[in-house]
């Protein structure tokens, strides 16, 4: 099996690549990691990994990554929420045009690769009910959500036409992301756990009672794999699935940090509101009923404490600063 | 006020132009009719009408039609349902790319024109509830519906960003359209009334009990005008409105024809199923609850008999063959 991952040097791309390479039953021949930066040595030292460096808005880069014998594409590359809001043209180019280029590549090759597209709960917004069901209309209130919603529609139609075996997933906010903060409006949700655990202060730009819809990296990787492994028919006529998550308040997240790592660590979170971030985050749904995903076998996390413990184990070598 | 109408030489564009030109309170200085064919003499004889002939996939044509002093754009040009299904690339170029070009023109000009975008109930599809509410998710099952759904999302985001004062309408199937059949899967719904009234046979490609969601040309023109005249704030954070219609079976439509024009006229309808048309039409919703549109003052038709009488009056000079 030959696999291409856009955004392959990002945190999720790397974890996904590792999981795919380690799966002996899958019979991986090649994993292409396409990203703006080279994939790390820990991955490229595996002879099956090919790192392709460049911009996903460059059709040549995508054509180099996705070829006629590519069996599966994980399209994770994106300009995230606050980034797409700040630079409208860049968001359109990366989130919309590059997605379309990938779909057209698949169509041109004619080999109907599987394609998993990372969408987002940012497709919801505006006047939402208390609980968002699988049948909720999409009314995105930021450009990132609009571009992701368009990607879903394109993936669905290219799948219906038989050009690609596509499936789109609406990801919850992923906590705890390793590494540095990014331009996602939700990046603080990881920062307020990650930085204190490493001895640094972190700023929370939203009110303590703010609820969020969350999933852990482990669950996201498992669900992304699951979406790939499912037969296309399991999706029926609509190839977009809102993924399970769990609801926590920001205060609850910091309380869980105190429980796992002690009150001194949790005290490193400072509260300082940022209206631009608040406006985006308050528009996202925090409670979803994801019956369809659960019936299809997608998993959910249950509590923040376990997620923090997994982060300490996976990313900090078990040690808290 | 300077107005541009894409698809301006089409049946709806012409009726809309007439209504705008005849409205003395509106103060119309110019109506540009952009279409593949020239606008008819009955419109161009009015010195305020400018006919722009060409393909809407040509950015130069659109730039000629929509200028920095254009106050309002009615974007009606489209490759309709069966046409977009038969020629995927053409549908993408006209329904998606041309819409984006118009939005970018407005953004570049910076004068925030009003824009009414004609979307469609083809954005719905697949596993639908008996009654589609305003909150129904969109799950289009044909490329036309996908492209219209993408247009809605783009119009909404360009409006949110302040680039255009946009609003999108999900049109019901319009009956009775004058003129010739087109490539819409729904074109038969007009043919089975229009052709018999003019002495010709018409073929109905779907089962008599097939329900459809319908609106008359008079109501569509009035609702399109109303969408334009409303203040942008009336739309709230989501600038897409499913329009009111009424539900009729195909048999009910032919029965109404018999009632208005006699059984001999109705007997000119022949029943001959076409699986390709059936597949598209059966996927569309026939019953919608359009509370939001009604609260905003949009109108609905009530019965097929009145629509047929209006067609005879407006298009046939009061005479039935």
The enclosing H or E element of B119 equals strand B114-120
pLDDT digit string, tens, across residues A224-261: 999 999 999 999 999 999 999 999 999 999 999 999 99
pLDDT digit string, tens, across residues B252-282: 999 999 999 999 999 999 999 999 999 888 8
Chain A residues touching B139 at Cβ < 8 A: 156, 237-238
Mean predicted confidence (pLDDT) in B16-28: 96
Helix, strand or coil for residue B137?
A: coil
- The answer to whether A104 contacts chain B (CB < 8 Å) is no
Tokens at residue A114, please? 């599987």
Among the partner residues A127, A135, A143, nearest to B137 by beta-carbon distance: A135
Chain B residues touching A127 at Cβ < 8 A: 236-238
For every residue of B85-108, DSSP letters joined together read: HH-HHHHIIIIIIHHHHHHHHHHH
Can you give the pLDDT at residue A279? 87
Tokens at residue A169, please? 């997933």
Mean predicted confidence (pLDDT) in B288-307: 97
- The answer to whether B295 contacts chain A (CB < 8 Å) is no
A56 vs A52, A62, A66, A221, CA distance in Å? 10, 6, 11, 22
Sole residue written with tokens 């954005």: B123
Mean predicted confidence (pLDDT) in A294-313: 97
Min Cα separation A49/chain B (Å) = 35
Mean predicted confidence (pLDDT) in B233-246: 97
Mean predicted confidence (pLDDT) in B79-91: 94
- Taking residue B43's Cβ as centre, other Cβ atoms within 10 Å add up to 20
Indicate the average pLDDT of chain A. 96
Tokens at residue B233, please? 């704030």
Can you give the pLDDT at residue B210? 96
Contact A82, A137 (CB under 8 A): no
Min Cα separation A239/chain B (Å) = 9
Rounded-to-integer distance, Cα A214 and Cα A171, Å = 9
Contact A106, A113 (CB under 8 A): yes
Quote the Cα angle for A38-A40-A43, to 5°.
115
Question: How sure is the predictor about B283, in pLDDT bands with cuts at 50, 70 and 90?
Answer: confident
Give the count of alpha carbons within 13 A of B289, CB side only.
Answer: 9
Residue A81 confidence (pLDDT) above 90: no
Residues in Cβ contact with A190 at an 8 Å cutoff, skipping those fewer than 6 apart? A174, A175, A176, A177, A181
Can you give the pLDDT at residue B183? 85
Residues in Cβ contact with A205 at an 8 Å cutoff, skipping those fewer than 6 apart? A188, A272, A273, A274, A277, A278
Domains of chain B, earliest start first: 2-171+216-242 (3.40.50.720), 188-213+246-287+299-315 (3.90.25.10)
Residue B81 confidence (pLDDT) above 90: no
Instruction: Assess whether A171 carries a catalytic annotation.
Output: no
Question: How sure is the predictor about A183, in pLDDT bands with cuts at 50, 70 and 90?
Answer: confident
Tokens at residue A78, please? 């994106």
Percentage with pLDDT > 90 across chain B: 95
Can you give the pLDDT at residue B213? 97
Q: Among B62, B152, B167, which residue's Cα sits nearest to residue B104?
A: B62
Rounded-to-integer distance, Cα B245 and Cα B239, Å = 19
């Amino acid at each position: 099996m030959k696999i291409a991952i856009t955004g392959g040097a990002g945190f999720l791309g790397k974890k996904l690549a590792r999981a795919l390479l380690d799966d002996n039953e899958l019979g991986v021949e090649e994993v292409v990691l396409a990203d703006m930066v080279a994939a790390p040595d820990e991955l490229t030292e595996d002879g099956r990994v090919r790192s392709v460096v460049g911009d996903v808005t460059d059709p040549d880069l995508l054509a180099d990554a996705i070829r006629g014998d590519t069996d599966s594409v994980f399209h994770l590359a994106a300009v995230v929420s606050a980034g797409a809001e700040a630079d409208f043209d860049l968001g359109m180019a990366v989130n919309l045009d590059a997605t379309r280029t990938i779909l057209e590549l698949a169509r041109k090759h004619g080999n109907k690769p599987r394609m998993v597209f990372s969408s987002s709960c940012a497709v919801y917004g505006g006047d939402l009910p208390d609980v968002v069901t699988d049948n909720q209309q999409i009314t995105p209130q930021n450009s990132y959500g609009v571009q992701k919603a368009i990607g879903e529609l394109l993936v669905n139609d290219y799948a219906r036409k038989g050009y690609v075996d596509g499936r789109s997933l609406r990801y919850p906010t992923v906590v705890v992301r390793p590494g540095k903060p990014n331009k996602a409006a939700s990046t603080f949700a990881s920062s307020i756990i990650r930085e204190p655990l490493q001895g640094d202060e972190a700023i929370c730009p939203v009110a303590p009672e703010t609820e969020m819809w969350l999933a852990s990296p482990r669950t996201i990787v498992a669900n992304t794999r699951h979406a790939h492994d499912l037969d296309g028919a399991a999706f029926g006529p609509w190839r977009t699935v809102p993924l399970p998550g769990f609801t926590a308040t920001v205060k609850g997240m910091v309380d869980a940090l105190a429980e796992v790592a002690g009150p001194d660590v949790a005290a490193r979170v400072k509260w300082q509101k940022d209206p631009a971030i608040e406006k985006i985050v308050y528009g996202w749904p925090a409670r979803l009923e994801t019956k369809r995903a659960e019936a299809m076998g997608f998993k959910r996390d249950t509590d923040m404490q376990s997620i923090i413990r997994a982060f300490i184990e996976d990313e900090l070598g078990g040690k808290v600063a």
